[in-house]
Chain A
């Protein structure tokens, strides 16, 4: 490689690795002290611990630092993992794949490929013009925002591995099936005409010189960017969760969002579409709702709808997709989520 000419100085990786180890140790120390710390904070307040207000405040004071700490760790780890992947490499893996295997691969790569919503349009065109089938492209675009590290990490910690694993499996399932259905419908003609005309040049990127310090830096950068963007959502989500936790009467929620209320699943999907939040803001609410007797299927359907069917993203995609294709996309994904909600409430009754 000609890489050596311009950068003779190769950074030694060990200060970065040692720094990461020290950071992890500090993290563990902070995390282990959370429960006593928040208990102590609450005891300082002139409020009866077991009153509605006391319960709500205790929930808030314990959850905010806990969720922020966990999120930082998960986002850092995922930032490092993602430095091994790129949209270009994913596209090369998917180009020319038939439906089926292609959809499965696309959905799984959607979890680990770095992706930001402002890249959605270039990514969509880049995939389609390089010969990735439309249905396979959709599997990727559905999975990427829905089954992400923030969602899985927080579900795992707040609700347990069973819920996280189920969410992973059903989220991938929806992305794979919706992509398969869209692929079968052969809707290529419903793309905006200019998209079909694009003649993309063959991409031949020079080899990159990424090192371990770069990967660790990528993790830190992800923390700065993602945690910096979503912390306010998390606090809002936990505040809403705290109110639910402290005040919402159990019978009421169980009646509205419980297993017996079949209509609550479609309602949850519909309410979720115009809402734009990320998993980080939604999961604290989900945690509180579940604690008050809401059914898991209903709540998961709500979460999937919020993350996978967001209005801003469909508006961005409208630049490349015809209104008809957008409608099909929302309908297919919405039906998939609906099925997950019903299935879940049925299975885990």
Chain B
């Protein structure tokens, strides 16, 4: 099971990113637990400067804006 965190204070884009992660997980068939991280201190701890950020199994793979669907499929499926 993969653990995916979406980092963001809760703006529209962050919600869109969560949805993209869920869609990518459903498409790949990989079991994924998605959680949101909205606490500013915790977000900052990951070292990103722009939200939304995406963390897969503890590693930051994306920061700022929405990811590409193909990239997301690779991070989650690979």
Q: Mark A266-283, 1 if CB is under 8 A from B, else 0.
A: 000000000000000000
B64 touches A87 (CB 8 A): yes
Tell me if A214 is interfacial: C-beta within 8 Å of chain B. Answer: yes
Q: Which residue of B lies closest to A209 (CB)?
A: B71
State whether A201 touches B46 (Cβ < 8 A).
yes
Partner of A209, one of B7, B40, B51, B70: B70
**Chain B contact residues: helix, strand, loop or mixed:** mixed
Give residues 33-78 of B contacting A (CB, 8 Å). Answer: 40-41, 43-51, 60-65, 68, 70-71, 73-74, 77-78
Q: In the complex, which residues 10-44 of chain A have their Cβ closer than 8 Å to any Cβ of chain B?
A: none
In the complex, whether A245 has a CB less than 8 A from a CB of chain B is: no
- With a CB–CB cut-off of 8 A, which chain A residues contact B60? 201, 203-205
Complex-state Cα separation, A203 to B64, whole angstroms? 13
Task: Identify the closest chain A residue to B40 (Cβ).
Answer: A121
**A45 at interface by CB-CB < 8 Å:** no
- Chain A CB within 10 Å — which of B13, B44, B51, B78 has the most? B44
Are A205 and B63 closer than 8 Å at their CB atoms? yes
A208 nearest CB neighbor, chain B only: B71
A125 partner residues in chain B, CB cutoff 8 A = 40-41, 43-44
If A118-B11, A205-B60 touch, whether A3 touches B47 (CB-CB below 8 Å) is: no
Q: Which of the listed residues A87, A127, A197 has the most CB atoms from chain B within 10 Å of its own CB?
A: A87
Within 8 A of B (CB), among A93-141: 114-116, 118-119, 121-123, 125-127, 129-130
Q: Is A292 an interface residue (CB 8 A)?
A: no
A162 at the interface (CB under 8 A from B): no
Q: Please count the residue pairs between chain A and chain B whose beta carbons lie under 8 angstroms apart in the complex.
A: 103
- Contacting pair A86 B64 (CB below 8 A): yes
Query: In whole angstroms, how far apart are the Cα atoms of A209 and B45 in the complex?
Result: 26
Residue on B nearest A132 in the bound complex, by CB? B49
Does chain B have a CB within 8 A of A319? yes
Could you tell me if B47 and A194 are in contact, using CB atoms closer than 8 angstroms? Answer: no
A87, B45: Cβ atoms closer than 8 Å: no
Residue among B50, B62, B77 having the largest count of chain A Cβ atoms under 10 Å: B50
Q: Does chain B have a CB within 8 A of A189?
A: no
- B43, B46, B64 — most chain A CB neighbours (10 Å): B64
Contact B68 A214 (CB under 8 A): yes
Contact partners of B13 in chain A: CB under 8 A = 116, 118
Is the pair B62, A205 in contact by a Cβ cutoff of 8 Å?
yes
From A7, A87, A114, A129, give the contact of B74 (CB < 8 A): A7
Query: Are B49 and A91 neighbours in the complex by a CB distance under 8 Å?
Result: yes
Closest to B49 in A: A126
A71 on interface, CB distance cutoff 8 Å: no
**CB distance B11 to A116 under 8 Å?**
yes
Could you list some 14 contacts between A and B, CB below 8 A?
A: A7-B70, A115-B50, A118-B11, A122-B7, A122-B50, A126-B49, A126-B50, A130-B49, A195-B44, A198-B45, A199-B45, A203-B48, A206-B61, A214-B68
**20 new A-B pairs (CB below 8 Å) besides A3-B74, A88-B63, A320-B40?**
A6-B77, A7-B73, A87-B63, A88-B48, A88-B64, A114-B65, A118-B51, A119-B64, A121-B40, A122-B48, A122-B50, A123-B49, A126-B44, A127-B49, A198-B44, A200-B45, A202-B47, A204-B60, A205-B63, A209-B71
